Amino acid sequence: MKETTERKKTKITLEDLLQIKRAERPSPDFWPHFERELRAKQLAAIVETRPWWRLVVARKFLVRWCVPLGAAAMVAMVFGSFRGVRVPSSCAPIAGEQVALPEPLTTARAEAFVSAVQGRSTVVNHAGSFESLVQADGSASCSAVDLAQSADHHAVNATTQDAELIAVSANPVDPSLAQVIGTAGIEVSLGADPVAAVEPLNEVTPPHDSRRSRLLAYSVSFDPHAANSSDAVRSRERITHRLSDDSVYDSIARLALSANRVSIKF
Amino acid sequence: MDVGSKALPKTLVASPERQYEADSDRMIVQRVQAGEVAAFDALILKYRERVYGMIYHMTSNREDAADLTQDAFIKAFQSIHRFQAQSSFFTWLYRIAVNSTLTHLRKARLRTFFSFEKITDEDKTAELVNQLTESKGADRDLFLCELQEKLNEAMMKLSIKHRTVVTLFEIEGLSHEEIAEVTQCSVGTVRSRLHYAKQLLQAELQRYMNP
């Protein structure tokens, strides 16, 4: 310090000037504020921060891609589950009823079936008029049951053939078979190529169409050898007027046919 | 204790005082690494003014210097577990502070705002200022302001690398070896940069030096 006081008119060097810069210092009240800010930053640094790449992924990927991907996954699941419910075309696609053909239906068997139906119609005549049976309970199912119970082996065979008739009427059949069945006056719904895959929902027709036609096929009494077929037409018309759609549908719903038996639900 | 006001001796190699300082720091660091987090406060109190002064002389902005000093200590605290005592804690901390400041200066290259600290009226400085004032015949306070502004302008005209070595050697009093360790370059590079920076500063501050 004595040296500095004795220092007079000496050269001022660059180092001396830089000493002046060294004398630049903050005021004493600067450091408490500095410590408070440092503590706050230390506490903020303790909080774990996500890496930058995760922020990018979260913002861009999740927002942009996850929602569409999730929606696509949901749609794929829905379609996958929907396709799994598909019913094979070989089974009888009757809503609420599934009657499997015991064996493939050929032309010979169709002819046998026709003859059985003819025999059944005889049984119907013997059991009483069909009209009385229908009017008694208002449903055609009883007529079918009565046929099954009161008939002889012809009726039993007819029941078996009934199952085939249901399958035939519901399934697409060969045109040759359709011609054989058609000569007996039985309504048969021809479908498309049986080999082709058909959606079961598309084959379902309104109850009042297919079920009524099948019931009429059961109930109509006809004789192919009769010269006049107007009786069959009149009977069919009479039945059509008397039967309502609900009763027809209800009768079909109650009636269940298997290979060799008929069950009815009350 | 105002550590910053104590002018460290300028030596080419590390002095015994520095060696003693390094040993004491190593013990504190070991305590912090063992889990005694509060021991790090002792290191903050010991080096905060020197780190702040270095960063201020490199940036000539007190607000930026305060933020960068805080960031340097936080980075040092977060990476204290990686300190392996291969160098002294002092040089390791300075290296963190210098790198943070260099990154800041590169980002804010086009933005130069001066925010000066007051020049403390120390004995050495006061004598020198009086001498300069008398020689120029100017008002002391006005002359001091002018001189401070001129000094900082001359420093900011240097490149970042040259400004760093001038600050560490002439103002902070580090040795050439210590500067080489902080800036991660050779001692010869430190010397050449220091020589070139002094030539530029002399050209800028010629009118304030006696012929």
Contact residues, chain B, for A17 at CB < 8 Å:
147, 151, 205, 208-209
- 3-state secondary structure (DSSP) of residue A262: strand
Inter-residue contact B95 to B182 (CB < 8 Å): yes
Q: Name, in order, each residue with C-beta under 8 angstroms of B117's C-beta and a sequence gap of 6 or more.
A: A24, A25, A26, B56, B62
The whole-angstrom separation of Cα A122 and Cα A192 is 34
The whole-angstrom separation of Cα B189 and Cα B168 is 14
Q: Tell me what pLDDT residue A121 has.
A: 43
Q: Is the alpha carbon torsion for B144, B150, B153, B155 positive or negative?
A: negative
Q: Which of residues 166-205 of B touch A (CB under 8 A)?
A: 166, 170-171, 198, 201-202, 205
Inter-residue contact B75 to B100 (CB < 8 Å): yes
A22, B70: Cβ pair inside 8 Å? Answer: no
Q: What is the pTM of this model?
A: 0.51
B170, A24: Cβ pair inside 8 Å? Answer: no
Q: Tell me what pLDDT residue B1 has.
A: 35
Strand segments (E) across A84-228: none
If we measure between CA atoms, which residue out of B96, B88, B100, B103 comes closest to residue B175? B88
Q: Tell me what pLDDT residue B97 has.
A: 94
B125 and chain A: CB distance < 8 Å anywhere? Answer: yes
Q: Tell me what pLDDT residue B185 has.
A: 92
Helices (H), B137-186: 140-157, 160-166, 176-183
How would DSSP label each residue in B62-112? HHHHHHHHHHHHHHHHHTGGG--SSS-HHHHHHHHHHHHHHHHHHHTTT--
What residue in A sits closest to B204 (Cα-Cα)?
A14
Closest approach of chain B CAs to the CA of A58, in angstroms? 26
Which residue of B62, B74, B151 is in closest CB contact with A26? B62
Q: Tell me what pLDDT residue A259 has.
A: 66
Neighbours of B169 (CB within 10 A): 22
pLDDT digits (tens), chain B, 211 positions: 333 444 444 444 456 777 788 888 889 999 999 988 889 999 999 999 999 999 999 998 889 999 999 999 999 998 998 888 788 898 999 999 999 999 998 887 766 667 777 777 666 677 777 777 777 666 777 888 888 888 888 888 999 999 999 999 988 888 999 999 999 999 999 999 999 999 999 998 888 776 4
Which residue of B56, B123, B202 is in closest CB contact with A24? B56
Closest approach of chain B CAs to the CA of A47, in angstroms? 12
Q: Compute CA distances A104 → A59, A156, A177, A185, B112, whole Å.
A: 63, 19, 12, 22, 97
The whole-angstrom separation of Cα B62 and Cα A52 is 30
A-B Cβ pairs (cutoff 8 Å, strict):
104
**Low-confidence residues of chain A: pLDDT under 70:** 1-10, 48-51, 54-55, 58-63, 84-229, 231-232, 236, 239-259, 265-266
Paired with A11 in beta bridges are none
Paired with A262 in beta bridges are A257
Q: Supply angle C-alpha B139, B145, B147, rounded to 5.
A: 95
The whole-angstrom separation of Cα A140 and Cα A70 is 52
Contact residues, chain A, for B74 at CB < 8 Å:
38, 41-42, 45
Classify burial at A97, counting beta carbons within 10 Å of its beta carbon; exposed 0-12, middle 13-18, buried 19 or more: middle
Residue A126 backbone zone (phi > 0: left; psi -120 to 50: alpha; other: beta):
alpha
Contacts of A258-263 spanning 24+ positions with Cβ under 8 A: A258/A99, A258/A163, A259/A100, A259/A102, A259/A160, A259/A163, A260/A156, A260/A159, A260/A160, A261/A159, A262/A144, A262/A145, A262/A148, A262/A159, A262/A162
Contact residues, chain A, for B210 at CB < 8 Å:
9-12
Contact residues, chain A, for B78 at CB < 8 Å:
45
B86 and chain A: CB distance < 8 Å anywhere? Answer: no
The whole-angstrom separation of Cα B196 and Cα B158 is 10
- 3-state secondary structure (DSSP) of residue A257: strand
